[in-house]
Amino acid sequence: MAIAVFSAFTRAVSWTTGVFDGLFNGLMGDEPATPREEAPALFVQLRRAIWGRRRGDVAGMLGAPQTACADASTWYYRFDEAEQQAIAIRFVSNRVRGVELIG
C-alpha cells in the first residue's frame, strides 16, 4: 500500500493550485511528460501536485528530504515500502522539473 503523503486538506489545496499551475504551464508550453501507464494513481497525483513547485513548497508538502541535502539537485522520498519504490524529484533553477518512480 502506498504511503499517503497528503492530508485531505493539503490534497485539496494542492489540487486547486495544481489546476492553475497546470493551466499556466500548459499555456506556456512547460508541462510534465505523460507518465507511464503502469504508474500508480497516487504517483500520478503526486507528480501533478508538485510539478513546477519551488523547493520550499515541496519540503512543506513532503517534509525535508531524508536522503539528500536541501540544496541537492535531486531529492528522494520513500513511496511504497511493500513494492520497494521511491520517488526522485529533480530540481532545475529551484523548481521541480522531473518526478520519477524508482523500483
On whether residue 1 sits in a domain, the answer given is: no
Provide the pLDDT confidence category of residue 38 given band limits of 50, 70 and 90.
Answer: low
User: What pLDDT is attached to residue 26?
Assistant: 47
Q: Is 76 left (phi over 0), alpha (psi -120 to 50) or beta?
A: beta
Distance CA(65)–CA(70), nearest Å, equals 7
Number of structural domains the chain divides into: 1
What pLDDT was estimated at residue 9? 43
Mean pLDDT calculated for residue range 30-56: 79
Output Rg (C-alpha) for the chain, integer angstroms.
13
3: in domain: no
The pTM of this model reads 0.63
Instruction: Classify 46 as helix, strand or coil.
Output: helix
Q: Between 24 and 67, whose confidence is greater?
A: 67
Q: What is the pLDDT of residues 1-31, one digit of tens each?
A: 444 544 444 454 454 455 445 544 444 445 5
What is the predicted pLDDT for the residue at 3?
47
At residue 19, the pLDDT reads 44
Range of the domain at 76: 8-102
User: Residue 61 is placed in which grid cell?
Assistant: 508538502
Question: What number is the average pLDDT over the span 39-63?
Answer: 93
pLDDT at 47: 95
